[in-house]
Amino acid sequence: MKIAVSSDSANLEAKVAHKFGNSKYLVIVDLESGDSEAVPNPGASAQRGAGMQAVVLAVSKDVEAVLTGYCSPAARSHLTVNGIEVISDLSGTIGEVVGRYKKGDFRKYKGVELEHRPRWSKIDKAILSYAIRSSAKQFANLLPILVGVVLLMGLFNAFVPRHILVSIFSGNPALDILWGACSGSIIAGNPINSYVIGRELLTSGVSLFAVTAFMVAWVTVGLVQLPAEIAALGKRFALVRNAVSFVLSLGVATLTVLVFNFFMG
């Protein structure tokens, strides 16, 4: 059985870190063999989602319990739903708390919060309220931009004369696809916005080839996010992936519209 202890230093004499999400290390201790390793917590320096990254680390290490000073309700809910016992409000050195855990002290000690739920337990109130809050937050982030895009589309339809669009999108499928993919690669954001813009372009007379390439490139190619992707996954990976995705967006648009036209006559 393996357990994880949050710590700011990589040795057994170090103190238990106060916060699970922001601790520098998770010290993984195998209780049977006595082996231990300190794994750097990817969430230690993160400004957002630190707790979740520590949760992912704990889950990936197959630990059965987390010992820490403080664990946020969201991280606690994710850990317990993955079958990991959370014991918080602890202080002392790693060696001490591991020893006390082995002896079963925490099951008697009043000050320690102990929570354990089996894997895939039924949905409880805490998880439901967390899901509602997450969805509301996602929706609240999506809505203002969507409102802006819809208003912009209203202006676009009223003010941009049709002949200007026709002069850009000539009706030549190859050129239209290229233009569509280029504009989709530059602009980024929630895909819902690309659907609204795509639909309006379509009703303005722009071909389905161009609109499809625009929507596919919007979600698969990200020039705006390229620096973040390079930083996380490496320069070569990010550049090759975006270049391949750009070329494939041309192919996907061509095939989709050809097959669609074949079925719809």
> Is position 27 an interface residue for other proteins (rule: CB under 8 A)?
yes
Token digits of residue 214: 């625009």
Token digits of residue 104: 């079963």
Query: Are 184 and 221 a contacting pair, CB within 8 Å?
Result: yes
Nearest distance, CB of residue 40 and other proteins, angstroms:
5
Residue 36 β-bridge partners:
29
Q: Could you give the CA distance from residue 171 to residue 138 in angstroms, rounded to a whole number?
A: 38
Q: Could you give the CA distance from residue 153 to residue 145 in angstroms, rounded to a whole number?
A: 12
> Is position 128 an interface residue for other proteins (rule: CB under 8 A)?
yes
> Is position 205 an interface residue for other proteins (rule: CB under 8 A)?
no
Q: Could you give the CA distance from residue 253 to residue 124 in angstroms, rounded to a whole number?
A: 44
Q: Which is nearer to other proteins, 108 or 125 (CB)?
A: 125
C-alpha of 107 from chain center:
35
Q: Could you give the CA distance from residue 193 to residue 236 in angstroms, rounded to a whole number?
A: 29
Binding test (CB under 8 A) with other proteins, winner from 32, 122, 264, 265: 264
Applying CB under 8 A, the span of 16-24, 100-108, 166-174, 224-232 interacting with other proteins comes to 224-232
Q: Which is nearer to other proteins, 59 or 182 (CB)?
A: 59
At CA 257, angle to CA 253 and CA 258, rounded to 5?
A: 115
> Is position 22 an interface residue for other proteins (rule: CB under 8 A)?
no
Nearest distance, CB of residue 163 and other proteins, angstroms:
17
Which residues lie below 8 Å from residue 250, measured CB to CB, with a gap of 6+? 177, 178, 181, 213
Q: Which is nearer to other proteins, 89 or 229 (CB)?
A: 229
For 242-254, give the DSSP string.
HHHHHHHHHHHHH
Q: Could you give the CA distance from residue 207 to residue 177 in angstroms, rounded to a whole number?
A: 9
> Is position 92 an interface residue for other proteins (rule: CB under 8 A)?
no
Token digits of residue 95: 């060696």
Binding test (CB under 8 A) with other proteins, winner from 92, 139, 166, 174: 139
Q: Identity (one letter) of the amino acid at 196?
A: V
Binding to other proteins (CB under 8 A) within 225-254 occurs at: 225, 228-229, 231-237, 240-241, 244-245, 248-249, 251-252
Binding test (CB under 8 A) with other proteins, winner from 37, 105, 113, 124: 37
Give the count of beta carbons closer than 10 Å to the beta carbon of residue 8: 16
Binding test (CB under 8 A) with other proteins, winner from 34, 118, 144, 265: 144
Binding test (CB under 8 A) with other proteins, winner from 114, 121, 124, 135: 135
Binding to other proteins (CB under 8 A) within 48-87 occurs at: 48-49, 52-53, 55-57, 59-60, 78, 81-82
Binding test (CB under 8 A) with other proteins, winner from 39, 165, 182, 223: 39
DSSP state of 167: H
> Is position 138 an interface residue for other proteins (rule: CB under 8 A)?
yes
> Is position 186 an interface residue for other proteins (rule: CB under 8 A)?
no
Binding test (CB under 8 A) with other proteins, winner from 1, 114, 132, 166: 132
Q: Identity (one letter) of the amino acid at 131?
A: A
